Amino acid sequence: MKDLTVRLDALDPQAGAALRVIAYFDELVAHGAGLQAIVRAAAVLGAAPAGLVDEARRVRVRVGPDGVPGEPLASPDPAWPRASVGSGGGVLWLERAGQARPVDAMILERAGAAVTAVLDRTRGRASADAASVETLLDPAAAPQARAVAARRLRLPERGRLRAVAFHGGRPGVLKEGEAVPEGMRAGIGTAGPLAELPASWESARLALRLTAGGGPDDPGPRVVAADEAGGLLVLARAVTAETPRVPDVGALDRAALAAPWMLATLDAVAAASSHRAAATALLIHHSTLQERVTQAEKLLGWPLGTAAGRLRLSLALALRRLHQTP
């Protein structure tokens, strides 16, 4: 890993930094690091104070960039980059004003996953019995066992329910009208009766593969509902770890190296109804967007001003996410 990081640094400093972050947190998790150590790592790697709050579990941690613990805060400033952690509305953040660095999203993603694992292991789940959730999602579970699990979780036996696949592998169940907690990354399964939760769980896992981290290196939706994904679920089922990357995905990766704004701009162009709408979403002038689109078209090799070109871009972005999320 160290040799690979050195080689990546020579080719792309940002990719090398991201790989160092991954390796650092993987090592912390492997050695059973606690919450303080994980937040300290986020602060040191991010070169900014880092904080963690989970009121449901009475957890408050704050560490400075020098690794020294500080006075905990009740909540982060809305302008700071942050990530939701755990199942009880916890928040992890970096105290950085202004534009976030490209590596910040990776730090919060990996630190958040490590914090969630520690919280679930050491303090239990905040609002659900994990064994009962697993029973509901198990296609082999007997109807009576599923009914008992639903009552234990205070779920209606005759209402419509949805399985939820949270990033990191944790499952959940939503009642009709409920939403995923703000800031979470998750796939939401199809709605149906209690007996259909196993099928809902399968569609939720597919929908999760279509989500994105939401940062400049991985723009896109953090929550995807299976019943709104349409044919993309077929694509998610077909693309596996062994599926070769099509040239359009390679073109996206090469274009991303040209400018830090490239992927976010392409995602906005693909999602918006027009270039003017995309410029509004990105908070930039229309002429600036046009200059970016012109540069992107040269790097990608196809036009983005036509419906066919935007469809091609949308499929390439979806395939890129599927390759990143096995």
Residue 16 is predicted with a pLDDT of 58
Whether CATH 1.10.10 fits 239-324: yes
| Burial state string for 263-293 with b = 16 or more CB within 10 A and e = fewer than 16 | bbbbbbbbbbeebeebbebbebeeeebeebb
Q: The tokens of 189 are what?
A: 């399964």
Q: pTM of this prediction?
A: 0.61
* Number of residues in the chain: 326
Instruction: Please give the pLDDT value at position 121.
Output: 63
Residue 88 CA to residue 126 CA, distance in Å, equals 5
Q: Is 36 helix (H, G, I), strand (E, B) or coil?
A: helix
- How confident is the chain (326 residues) per 10-residue block, as mean pLDDT? 41 61 82 81 91 81 87 86 83 86 88 84 53 84 87 88 88 90 90 95 95 87 94 92 90 92 93 88 90 93 92 94 86
Model pLDDT, residue 127: 43
Domain 2-122 has CATH 1.10.490: no
- pLDDT for position 59: 80
The full set of domain ranges for the chain reads: 2-122, 130-212, 239-324
